[in-house]
Each structure stands twice: as structure tokens, then as C-alpha cells.
Amino acid sequence: MESSSSNKRYSGRFFSLQEIEQIRELIHTQPQVNRQQLSYQVCELFDWRKSDGGLKDMSCRVALLRMHREGLIELPAPRHKVNPCRTFARRTAQAQPEPLLELAVHELSPLRLEVVARKDSALWNEYIDRYHYLGYKPLPGAQLRYFAYTGDRLLGLLGFGAAAWKTGPRDAWVGWSREQRHRNLGGVVNNARFLILPWIRVRCLASKLLSMVSRDLPGAWEARYGYRPVLLETFVEAGRFSGTSYKAANWRCVGQTQGRGKLGDHRIGQVPVKDVWVYPLVKDFRERLCQ
């Protein structure tokens, strides 16, 4: 759908005023539906689907909630009350600092990655909130989170979510049109969080974990979402970090952002300037993203 001054963009999709009115009508004529059912209906109504043909339910839920908060629609009351005690803000003994581990990477017992299970979700959130300089916030859209271990010793955490809606250096490097980006953006996954715990001092560990996760993620993503991404991206804050670990893991720096934020807002300077790094997961990634 083409954008215009009268259209509103949510979760990477433009909604016309007529479409927002259609959503209002769905809510008005079916007062018994809950928010999840409404999301499915909106996806079906507008044929809003992922690359694998499935409904973009999670993106739609985010879009509907934003419309609700902006007063454009009135969502039905949530079925479950939200616990005001945020799980990521908790502090438990399990995530307390541990003794210093200082070894060469080859001296560690075999490294392994573990996709975060539902029961451990709050623990991952807590580690990120306590020890990552950006703290915790929910990852957008489809996502995968990892724990990295040597034996039973936790070394680090990684989180992957939806790609940036647009960023000049990446888009120029891929060479896709606006329409191709809109259609195929799901093929790009963003490494939104990467944390080596502060008491872990293991040279080359970060690049080793990045190499491991680039091999594991395509299959794990397909198992969860039904399709394989073809490109990874991340944003490294210029001046704070040099991106050495990404470079050592064969990622490529393709330029810098202009400080517009992940959604490409035009207000330059609202966020720090970041280096844009990318990592192709398949050789023909350009053909797939530009089809």
C-alpha cells in the first residue's frame, strides 16, 4: 500500500483511514470477540501475512494496541490482567554476579547455545536489564532469544527480533526497492541484544558465539516461524563500541545511521548514531530479498 499524509503506519504497514474505519466496524459488530480473535480477523481482512503465508498476528496486535492508545479504535478489555510487577525488573539470586572466569576460549568446555524456553523468559529479561547498558525492553515482532553456556556456566545472552523498517546504509547495500523491502523485510533479522556477562573475561568469546548463532538461527527460526531468514543485521553505537567482535565473525559494516530510530522517524538526532553491520546467511540473499 502506498503511503500518503492521511495514512498511518503501524508495525511496518500503512493503514488508510478507510481501513481503520473497517476495524472500528469489526469491533462494533462483534462485541464478543477478544483481542486475539480480532487480530486474526484484521489479518484475514487485509491479507496481512508473513513470508510463509501465515497471518502476521503479533505485528497486528501491536498495531491495534497503538491505534487504541492513540484513540483511533476502542479495543475490548484484555482477558487477563497485566501484573504491574514487571518480570524484567525483578532481582533474583539466580542472576547475581558470579566469580570471575578468565580463560582462553579454547580452554572452555564445549560451548553451547540454548533457545530460551518460556519458563526461563523472565530470567533472560532480568540478566539483560541488570547487565546490558541499554537495559531490557520487549523485542519487536518475531523473535528468538538465546543463553550461551560452557558446561553449566552461563557466559552470555543473545536476542534477535524484527529488522529495522528502513535504514539507508543497509537498504542501499541490499539494493532493493521500497516495494521489495516492504514485501521481503521478514527475511532480515535484527540482533537487538548481545551480552557477555561482565564477570566473563574470555578473549574471542564474542566472535565465537556470533559465528555459532549464525549457524543455529536459520534452522531454529524456521522451526518456530516456518521460514528461514537470509540476512542478519545489528546496530553498534558509534563511539561506545568499535564492532570488533562482529568484524572478527565476518560481519560487514555498511555505513552509519542518522539517529532516526528503528522505525525511520524523520526527526534526526533522537537516538545515537550507530554503525550498521550485516551478515548474509545464504549466498543468494540479494536475489531473495529483491524478488
Burial class of 182 by CB neighbour count within 10 A (0 to 12, 13 to 18, 19+): middle
| E strands, 127-211, in order | 144-150, 153-162, 188-196, 200-203
Could you tell me the pLDDT band of residue 12, with boundaries at 50, 70 and 90?
confident
Lowest-confidence range among 84-88, 158-162, 272-276?
84-88
Q: Could you give the 3-state DSSP secondary structure of residue 211?
A: helix
Query: Is residue 260 pLDDT above 70, yes or no?
Result: no
What span, in angstroms and rounded, lies between the C-alpha atoms of 216 and 115?
10
> Which CA distances in Å does 144 have to 58, 114, 169?
14, 10, 25
Q: What percent of the chain has pLDDT over 90?
A: 66
pLDDT tens per residue across span 202-215:
999 999 999 999 99
Could you tell me the pLDDT band of residue 86, with boundaries at 50, 70 and 90?
low
Could you write out the three-class secondary structure of 132-148? Answer: CCCCCCCCCCCCEEEEE
pLDDT tens per residue across span 55-72:
888 889 989 998 998 889
Domains in the chain, ordered, with CATH? 8-69 (no CATH), 87-289 (3.40.630.30)
Query: Average of pLDDT values for 190-196?
Result: 97
Give Cβ neighbours of residue 271 (< 8 Å, ≥ 6 apart).
257, 259, 260, 261
What are phi and psi for residue 99, nearest 5 degrees? -60, 150
Query: Is residue 84 pLDDT above 50, yes or no?
Result: no
| Residue 107 identity (one-letter amino acid) | E
Query: Is residue 250 pLDDT above 80, yes or no?
Result: yes
Query: Average of pLDDT values for 248-277?
Result: 79
Q: What is the pTM of this model?
A: 0.75
pLDDT value of position 261:
57
pLDDT value of position 274:
95
- Residue tagged 518460556 (cell numbers): 118
Query: Average of pLDDT values for 174-191?
Result: 92
What span, in angstroms and rounded, lies between the C-alpha atoms of 88 and 121?
9
Query: Is residue 2 pLDDT above 50, yes or no?
Result: no
The residue among 1 and 277 whose pLDDT is bigger is: 277
